[in-house]
Amino acid sequence: MDSLVIMIIRVTRQSKYRTTLTDESPTLSGAQFGLGTDIVEIRRFRELERDAPFLSRVFTQDELTYCRSYPNPAPHLAATYAGKEAVVKAMNFQKQISVRGIEILRNKDGSPYVRIEEQTKIEVLVSLAHSEQNAVAVALVIPKSHSNNVEIFRKLLNETTQEILPRQ
């Protein structure tokens, strides 16, 4: 497992904006991992009307409720959208999935987690961050057979997300 973590660190640090691991993705006992990133301008979400059709096409009611619970929902909408896009990119090797089929929810401590409409043999981790102008997300697909190392991967994702976020 150490060599896999080192490989993912090397990929993210050498090519911070690489969206997915290719067909030569690192495998461990035949398991395939996926890495996806996305960055979104928050301005795009500030300009949307509250009832814009885009919102109901892309976000679930639970996601909208969470984002709108803040006085300024735009950064939260942008981060959630970036998370969905990062998951789509990370799952590219698995199958086609729409952003509506991916739900980015929050634990009681505020940390994000992913729920996918179809039962899969993977675990998806996501890390979200935002500045005043941009929201960024990094997603990692892990085979459930390797989910005992989730905390190592989660820490790596959180560090990588902070590195990608543009400095103000």
CA atoms within 13 A on the CB side of 35: 27
CATH of domain 2-164: 3.90.470.20
Residues constituting the chain: 168
**What are the boundaries of each domain within the chain?**
2-164
Taking the CA atoms of residue 88, residue 138, residue 151 and residue 111 in that order, the dihedral angle to the nearest 10 degrees is -90
- At 41 the three-state DSSP class reads strand
**In tens digits, what is the pLDDT along the chain, a chain of 168 residues?**
344 443 444 444 433 333 333 334 444 445 577 888 999 999 999 999 989 999 999 999 999 999 999 999 999 999 999 999 999 988 876 667 788 889 999 999 989 999 987 767 788 889 999 999 999 999 988 887 766 667 777 777 777 777 776 665
Q: CA separation (Å) from 129 to 30, 31, 76, 117, 151?
A: 32, 28, 9, 24, 18
pLDDT of residue 31: 54
Q: Residue 5: its pLDDT value, please? A: 43
Cα 83 from Cα 138, distance rounded (Å):
7
Which residues, other chains included, contact 27 with Cβ-Cβ below 8 Å and sequence gap of 6+?
33
Pairing status of strand 112-116 against strand 102-106: antiparallel
